């Protein structure tokens, strides 16, 4: 009988070393025993993507030897040691090391190229960063096979078709579906586990692209939804979506269930646990997404479904972003509001810069956004439309939960709690799902801890 396909994505910390990969293997084994047919998507090991980025920048700044040293002494050693533990006694240890070395040699050649040209283009970086996932998945698929789980390594560049917007490529769903059915489906239909690289794809010309940092979650959602799997599991290093980022608030606890809209808002407002685009393809196919802890596979985690059973009017979680810009544009001459708003937002759309918050008043338009490499260009173009005023160090705090602030006294309590902070913008999201504040960047963490205490640690908040 055909087993039920599920998509399992393992993030960087869930494949960071041999021990993590052994956990992954036992999780996958238990899914197979439960009658599922897993399709695997994996990230680069640990912080390898960050290290690759660091090497590329070193090479650009004429420190080629230092960059090569990191590849040789850090990246190579990590992967080789992992092979040493996972494939001990497998007989193909040396063959896998040779394959890894071929990839590592290519990496070093690419670094030489960067140092010669002194330039790092998004197109180059996509190719360069893809090696992280290519190295990790080679080891994972071999380790699965050695530990008696039949697996086949797939090349995501041959599966995920995207446009050529390097560093933030947009998937072509119909073309990717055809590839998945051609390449991936026959593997799991033959009871083997396809192992794919997250984050990585290629454009129509076969040039490697990536979906942007943290993009493996998105790969999982794209593959899972196009293959109509029964569920998508995002395995990470925390037990689900927590009430806020545990790194800044040790009291954060697991949120049992979230609606798709709540989860997308949380991701959009900065919760790193999910890539912002992840949820959309899954919503469309009504596929539930689970966020689970690979270090504690028995823990419940968070279930994300199209709708949660009741409209609880409860706050669910707090997300935040730091280091944003609040830019106001005042038109040089009288112009209709709607027309001016369209001109201003048009500059952001054209430069593919995400907007985090917008305010409009009689005097002009204010936009809050992230300072990316397009920042100077955006500023120059806006200067042609009006006089601009910039506050460079603001941050965004979003409390997610359907209409929780409509309950008696809730809003008053929240605002009272924030009395000592400078609030630049305060708004209620369109679907009644987020209450957000633009505050000084330096205050963000304190605001979050403060709100967390009020909403999730004390009984004072009306529930
Ligand atoms: P992975 O490598 O598995 O993709 P990430 O580092 O991208 O993992 O995301 C998991 C991390 O997200 C957690 O370790 C945690 O620090 C951070 N995080 C931020 N906000 C939240 C939140 N609300 N709930 C859970 N984790 C969060
Ligand atoms: N390895 C990539 C990154 O670190 C993609 C991912 O892990 O989601 O951004
Ligand atoms: Mg991630």
Residue 273 burial class via C-beta count within 10 angstroms: exposed 0-12, middle 13-18, buried 19 and up: buried
Pocket, ligand 1, Cβ cutoff 6 A: 11-14, 43, 214, 236-238, 241-242, 244-247, 271-273, 317
Pocket test for ligand 1, best of 23, 44, 211, 236 (most atoms within 8 A of CB): 236
User: For residue 430, is it within any domain?
Assistant: yes
**Cβ atoms 96, 145 nearer than 8 A:** no
pLDDT for res 452: 96
**Domain span holding position 322:** 317-457
**Residue 367, Cβ neighbours under 10 Å: how many?**
23
Q: Probe ligand 2: pick from 136, 216, 222, max atoms within 8 Å of CB? A: 216
Same domain, 322 and 224: no
Give the per-residue pLDDT at 183.
Answer: 98
Instruction: Give the domain CATH number at 176.
Output: 3.40.1160.10
Task: Give yes or no: residues 330 and 231 share one domain.
Answer: no
> How much distance in Å is there from the Cα of 197 to the middle of ligand 1?
19
- Domains: count for the chain: 2
**Final residue of a structural domain among 215, 237, 259:** 237
- Non-local (6+) Cβ contacts of 138 within 8 A are 96, 99, 100, 103, 153
Residues of the chain with pLDDT under 70: 1, 308-311, 460, 462-463
Residue 284 lies in a domain: no
Distance CA 301, CA 252 (A): 13
Which residue do the tokens 């180059």 mark?
Answer: 124
Interior/surface letters 57-94, b for 16+ CB within 10 angstroms, e for the rest: ebbbeeebeebbebbeeebbebbbebbeebbeeeeebe
pTM (two decimals):
0.91
Distance 207 CA to ligand 2 centre (A): 19
Q: Using CA atoms, how far apart are residues 338 and 315, in angstroms rounded to an integer?
A: 33
Domain match, 233 and 321 both: no
Alpha carbon nearest to ligand 1 atom 9, residue: 273
- List CB contacts of 250: < 8 A, sequence separation 6 or more: none
For the CA of 265, the nearest ligand: 1
Quick one: 169 and 36 in the same domain?
yes
CB atoms within 10 A of CB 34: 10
pLDDT for res 462: 53
- The residue from 237, 259, 276 where one domain ends is 237
Note whether 215 and 325 are same-domain residues. no
Q: Same structural domain for residues 103 and 206? A: yes
* 44 CB-contact burial (10 Å; exposed 0-12 / middle 13-18 / buried 19+): buried
Q: How far is the CA of 321 from the centre of ligand 3 (A)?
A: 15
Residue nearest to atom 6 of ligand 2 (CA): 214
Q: In this predicted structure, what is the pLDDT of residue 78?
A: 98
- The answer to whether residue 294 sits within a structural domain is no
The dihedral through the CA atoms of 350, 277, 449, 322 has a sign that is: negative
Q: What is the mean pLDDT of the chain?
A: 94
Ligand 2 probe mutation, 46, 47, 49, 273, most atoms within 8 A of CB: 49
Q: Note whether residue 280 is domain-resident.
A: no
Residue at which a domain ends, from 218, 237, 256? 237
In this structure, are 217 and 357 located in the same domain? no
Which residues, including other chains, have CB under 8 Å from residue 89's CB and lie 6 or more apart? Answer: none
Q: Are residues 188 and 321 in the same domain?
A: no
Domain match, 219 and 339 both: no
| Closest C-alpha to ligand 1, atom 11 | 273
> Cα separation of 157 and 133, whole Å?
11
Nearest to 426 by CA among 463, 451, 454, 408: 451
The edge-to-edge listing of strands for the beta sheet with 423-428 is 355-360, 365-370, 317-331, 386-400, 434-440, 423-428
Answer whether 219's CB lies under 8 Å from 173's CB.
Answer: no
Q: Rounded to the nearest whole angstrom, what is the distance from the C-alpha of residue 16 to the centroid of ligand 3?
A: 13
- What's the CATH code of the domain at 403? 3.30.2130.10
Q: Which of 245, 262, 267 to mutate to test the pocket of ligand 1 (most atoms within 8 A of CB)?
A: 245
> Is 85 strand, coil or helix?
helix
Asked whether the beta carbons of 439 and 422 are under 8 A apart, the reply is yes
CB-based pocket (< 6 A), ligand 2: 11-12, 43-44, 49, 132, 198-199, 213-216
Q: What is the number of residues in the chain? A: 463
CA separation for the pair 304, 290 (Å, rounded): 6
């Amino acid at each position: 009988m055909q087993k039920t396909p599920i998509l399992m994505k393992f993030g960087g910390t869930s494949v960071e070393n041999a021990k993590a990969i052994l956990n992954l293997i036992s999780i996958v084994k238990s899914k197979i025993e439960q009658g599922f047919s897993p399709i695997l998507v994996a990230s680069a090991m640990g912080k390898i993507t960050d290290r690759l980025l660091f090497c590329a920048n070193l090479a650009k700044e004429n420190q080629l030897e230092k960059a090569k040293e990191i590849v040789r002494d850090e990246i190579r050693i990590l992967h080789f040691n992992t092979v040493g533990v996972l494939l001990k006694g497998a007989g193909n240890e040396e063959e896998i090391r040779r394959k890894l070395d071929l990839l590592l040699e290519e990496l070093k050649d690419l670094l030489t190229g960067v140092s010669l040209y002194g330039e790092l283009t998004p197109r180059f970086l996509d190719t360069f960063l893809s090696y992280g996932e290519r190295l990790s998945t080679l080891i994972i698929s071999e380790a699965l096979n050695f530990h008696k789980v039949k697996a086949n390594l797939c090349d995501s560049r041959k599966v995920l078709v995207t446009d050529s917007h390097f560093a933030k490529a947009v998937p072509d769903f119909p073309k990717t579906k055809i590839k998945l059915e051609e390449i991936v489906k026959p593997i799991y239909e033959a009871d083997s586990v396809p192992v794919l690289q997250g984050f990585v794809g290629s454009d129509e010309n076969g040039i490697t692209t990536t979906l942007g940092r943290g993009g493996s979650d998105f790969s999982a959602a794209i593959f899972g939804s196009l293959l109509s799997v029964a569920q998508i599991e995002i395995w990470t290093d925390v037990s689900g979506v927590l009430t806020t980022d545990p790194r800044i608030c040790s009291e954060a606890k697991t949120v049992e269930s979230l609606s798709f809209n709540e989860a997308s808002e949380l991701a959009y407002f900065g919760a790193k646990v999910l890539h912002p685009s992840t949820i959309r393809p899954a919503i469309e196919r009504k596929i539930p997404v689970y966020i689970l802890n690979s270090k504690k596979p028995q823990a419940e985690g968070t279930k994300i479904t199209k709708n949660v059973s009741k409209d609880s009017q409860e706050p669910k979680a707090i997300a935040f972003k730091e280091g944003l810009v609040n830019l106001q544009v005042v038109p040089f001459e009288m112009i209709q509001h709607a027309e001016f708003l369209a001109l201003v937002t048009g500059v952001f759309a054209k430069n593919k810069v995400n907007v985090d918050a917008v305010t409009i008043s009689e005097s002009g338009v204010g936009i809050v956004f992230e300072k990316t490499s397009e920042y100077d260009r955006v500023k120059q173009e806006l200067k042609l439309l009006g006089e601009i005023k910039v506050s460079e160090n603001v941050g965004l705090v979003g409390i997610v939960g359907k209409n929780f602030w409509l309950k008696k006294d809730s809003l008053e309590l929240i605002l009272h709690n924030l009395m000592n902070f400078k609030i630049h913008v305060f708004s209620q999201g369109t679907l009644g799902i987020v209450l957000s504040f633009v505050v000084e960047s330096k205050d963000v963490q304190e605001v979050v801890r403060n709100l967390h205490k009020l909403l999730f640690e004390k009984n004072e908040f009306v529930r």
